[in-house]
Amino acid sequence: MSVTTDPIPSIAVNGMSLEVIDRGAGRPILFLHPGIGLDPQSPVLEQLARGGRVLAPFHPGFGSTPAPKSITTVSDISYLYLDLMEAYDLRDTLVVGVGLGAWIAAEIAIKSTERISSLVLANAIGIKVGDRETRDIPDIWAITAQQFDELAYFDPNVAKRDYKALPEGVAFAAARAREANARYCWSPYMHNPKLKNWLHRIRIPTLCLWGTADRIVSESYARAFCAAIPGAQFETIERAGHFPHVEQPEEFARRTLAFGSPKAEAAQRTA
């Protein structure tokens, strides 16, 4: 893992300070990170920036800005990001989310797609599929970090960190991400019981990606999520688990940009 000491620029949204990575130029691409947080040096950001201007906010509580008390749910974050898109005056945005980020993206899109032209949801969490006694997603707070990595990655070695050898900021970012993830995902566990009922409102081109080694969310769960969005396409990424943007950044960006290109979007709209 590479580490930057450069401060991340902040933008004020609705009286809140948000750290937002801003890379490249052109059509806006809003990248929403998963529950493990966001490495500013993550190769996927450069890969995506080939297709436009990547804006990647740290969700409240991740990064170095504390979460305000008023932000406690994924729905709260979705309203915050609607304000964020307004603050940047984004048009025809490609919104891309992974895991928790995909859940946030879906919660944005059920509310308004006024500034969004297409959506890529990778390994999304956020809905309830099984019955009340069947846990859709393994309890990540009842297993060890090593067990989590084995479930989440095609190659668990990708996730290994020697925090003692890394700068203090890396351990601090991991600690903050763990807490912030629980803020939004502890209960109801990793989902909003109401979300599935409203996914039908997403009427823009949507691609659902799933890393085939993911054992945090299963293929049937990923397909159920996709099926709830009218016309959404389902594709898989090989040699990747729950975080395909980390394990296969090039392939992830290639699929995303191919789906989200203005030409492809036009074709999808007429199809």
Partner 1 sequence: MRVYHFTEQPYYPAWDNHKGSLRINLPSSVCDPKIAGDLFHRYYDEWMLADDLGFDIMLNEHHQTSTCMSSTVVVGLSILARITKRARLLVLGYPLGHRPDPLRCAEELATIDVISRGRLDMGFVKGVPYEFPASNQNPVGVMDRFWEAHDFIVKAMSSHDEPFNWEGEHFHYRQVNVWPRPVQQPHPPVWSTTGNRNQARLLGEKGITMATLGSGYATRPLQDAYRAGYFAKRGVAAGAEHFAYLALVAVADNEAEARRRGDILASYFRSSAIVHVPFRNPPGFLASQDYARMLRGQSPPRTYTKDGRAVDMYKGDVQDLMDAGVLFCGTPDQVYDQITAFCEYCGGMGNLLMMGHAGALSHEDTVDNLTLFSKEVLPRLKAFKQPVAEATAA
**CA–CA gap between residue 27 and residue 52 (Å, rounded):** 5
Smallest distance from partner 1 to CB 148, Å = 9
Q: Which stretch binds partner 1 (CB under 8 A): 48-56, 97-105, 175-183, 198-206?
A: 175-183
**Helix, strand, or coil (residue 171):** helix
3 lines the binding site for partner 1 (CB under 8 A): no
Among the listed residues 75, 83, 64, 54, the one whose alpha carbon sits nearest the alpha carbon of residue 19: 64
Closest listed residue to residue 141, CA positions, set 104, 178, 175, 176: 178
Q: Which positions from 54 through 113 interact with partner 1, judged by CB under 8 A?
A: 69, 72
Rule CB under 8 A: say whether 132 interacts with partner 1.
no
Q: Which stretch binds partner 1 (CB under 8 A): 44-52, 171-179, 191-199, 247-255?
A: 171-179
Per CB under 8 A, the list member of 174, 201, 218, 265 interacting with partner 1 is: 174
Q: Does residue 266 touch partner 1 according to CB under 8 A? A: no
Among 168, 263, 270, 271, which residue sits at the site for partner 1 (rule: CB under 8 A)? 168
Residue 199 gets which letter from DSSP?
A: G
Is beta strand 28-32 parallel, antiparallel or unpaired with respect to 206-211? unpaired
Give the residue with the Cβ less far from partner 1, 80 or 94. Answer: 80
Dist. CA 17–CA 156, nearest whole Å: 34
- Residue 58 is classified by DSSP as P
- Pairwise CA distance, residues 63 & 177, whole Å: 8
- For partner 1, which is the closer residue by CB, 114 or 179? 179
- Coil, helix or strand at residue 83: helix
User: Closer to partner 1 at the Cβ: 132 or 263?
Assistant: 132
Q: CA 95 to CA 206: how far, in whole Å?
A: 10
CA distance readout (Å), 220 to 196, 216, 223: 15, 12, 5
Write out the two tokens for 162: 């020697």
Whichever of 24 and 68 has its CB closer to partner 1, that residue is 68
**Residue 176 within binding range of partner 1, rule CB under 8 A:** yes
Residue number, 35 or 241, with CB nearest to partner 1? 35
**Helix, strand, or coil here: 124?**
coil
Least distance between partner 1 and beta carbon 144 (Å): 6
Total binding residues for partner 1 by CB under 8 A? 21
Under rule CB under 8 A, residue 258 binds partner 1: no
Positions in the binding site for partner 1 (CB under 8 A): 69, 72, 141-144, 163-164, 168, 171-172, 174-176, 178-179, 181-183, 186-187
